[in-house]
Amino acid sequence: MTKSPMRIDLALALVALLCATLSLGIGPAHLGSGRVLAALAGQGDPVATTIVWQLRLPRALLALLVGAMLGGAGAALQGYLRNPLADPGVLGTSSTAALGAVLALYYGFAALSPLTLPLFAIVGAFAGLAPLLVLAARSEGPLALILAGVAIATAAGAGISLALNFAPNPFAAVEIMTWLMGGLADRSFLHVWLALPCVAIGLGLILLQRRALDALTLGEEGATALGIDLKRTRTLLLVATAIGVGGSVAVSGAIGFVGLVVPHLVRRFTDGRPSSVLLPSMFGGAALLAAADTLVRMVPTLEEPRLGVVTALIGVPIFLHQLVKARRQW
């Protein structure tokens, strides 16, 4: 083995932690690093303690969780579908999660409690999962799943457009649009506790499929001949994606591109096996999102730029650069 996947794991985990730590020191209220550290240690002044613990820490943790989930799901789905274009949205469950959230906004349920919107989103993710599970139990290959995912995403997109179309007033439409662009501003530990189990289950199930993903390098029949139960793999990956990505979309909105780009960025530092891309993609996704969420707070504009926009702006140039450099893979 010429390349050590262990080291890229560690390096990216460190970068992610560094970005998240850095983000604790940045926000509209200017706190010196001394006050932030003191607040973290539990010995800060009340204002700094409130800002760090109630506003910045949950936000940093959410960036790590959501980024890790998106990166991990992207890597797993690219491995499972053997398709470099796959991303966490390919199965449509992130779109149905978004539709759930939009419905909560549209009907005003979102104002009832900070948890209503994320819960609607998770229900949406599961609603999108149901037809996929029926299909997965019957179909042989992944193509039917991709096509069903496209159909589900299209239907969910139509539902969202409908909500925008009939929005009771311009403010509701703007609220929906803003949420759809993704962001982590004004999140609390409630959101962390909601996202954490979803992401833990999602990433855990994905990591359990490591060998199945490697065996699928030889195709569906090759993997079966290697003793892999493909129906089980398919079902578990679907559930992992719906729960994990659904939970992520619920707290952050739709953040595009992380799941597509990160696996490609880290793949060349691994030995190329789908299993060895998983952990670096999780840490890489966490790092990218933590960095992007720090950046949105550093840009001196009145309104924070939306996180989904910034991940795309950071991700696309790096991605294109990679694409030009490593043409032979495509």
Partner 1 sequence: MVRLDHVAVALGGRRIIDGVSAELAGGVIGLIGPNGAGKSTLVRAIAGLVASEGTILIDGAPVASIALRERARRIAYLPQGQAVHWPLTVERVVALGRLPHLAPFARPGEAEGAAIERALERTDLVALRDRPIDQLSGGERARVLLARALAVEASLLLADEPLAALDPSHQIEVMALLRAEAGRGATVIAVLHDLTLAARWCDRLLLIDHGKLVADGSPREVLTADHIRAVYGVSAFIGEAHGEPLIVPLSH
> C-alpha 277: how far from its chain's center?
16
CA distance linking residue 220 with residue 213, whole number of Å: 10
Q: Is 82 left (phi over 0), alpha (psi -120 to 50) or beta?
A: left
Nearer to partner 1, 82 or 201 (CB): 82
- Can you give the binding site for partner 1, defined by CB under 8 A? 2, 79, 82, 211, 214-219, 221-222, 224-229, 271-274, 328-329
CA distance linking residue 269 with residue 285, whole number of Å: 15
How far apart are CB 245 and partner 1 at their closest, in Å?
23
How far apart are CB 131 and partner 1 at their closest, in Å?
24
Nearer to partner 1, 5 or 202 (CB): 5
Length of the chain in terms of residues written: 330
Contact (CB, 8 A) for 259 and 285: yes
How far apart are CB 27 and partner 1 at their closest, in Å?
42
Tokens read off for 26: 């940045």
How far apart are CB 2 and partner 1 at their closest, in Å?
6
Nearer to partner 1, 224 or 322 (CB): 224
Nearer to partner 1, 30 or 327 (CB): 327
Nearer to partner 1, 70 or 216 (CB): 216
Nearer to partner 1, 2 or 165 (CB): 2
Q: How far is CA 218 from CA 25, 82, 214, 226, 238, in A?
A: 48, 10, 8, 9, 21
How far apart are CB 140 and partner 1 at their closest, in Å?
11
CA distance linking residue 281 with residue 300, whole number of Å: 30
Tell me the three-class secondary structure of 20-60, residue by residue.
Answer: HHHHHCCCCCCCCHHHHHHHHCCCCCHHHHHHHHHHHHHHH
Contact (CB, 8 A) for 117 and 105: yes
CA distance linking residue 330 with residue 196, whole number of Å: 35
Nearer to partner 1, 188 or 217 (CB): 217
How far apart are CB 292 and partner 1 at their closest, in Å?
28
How far apart are CB 217 and partner 1 at their closest, in Å?
5
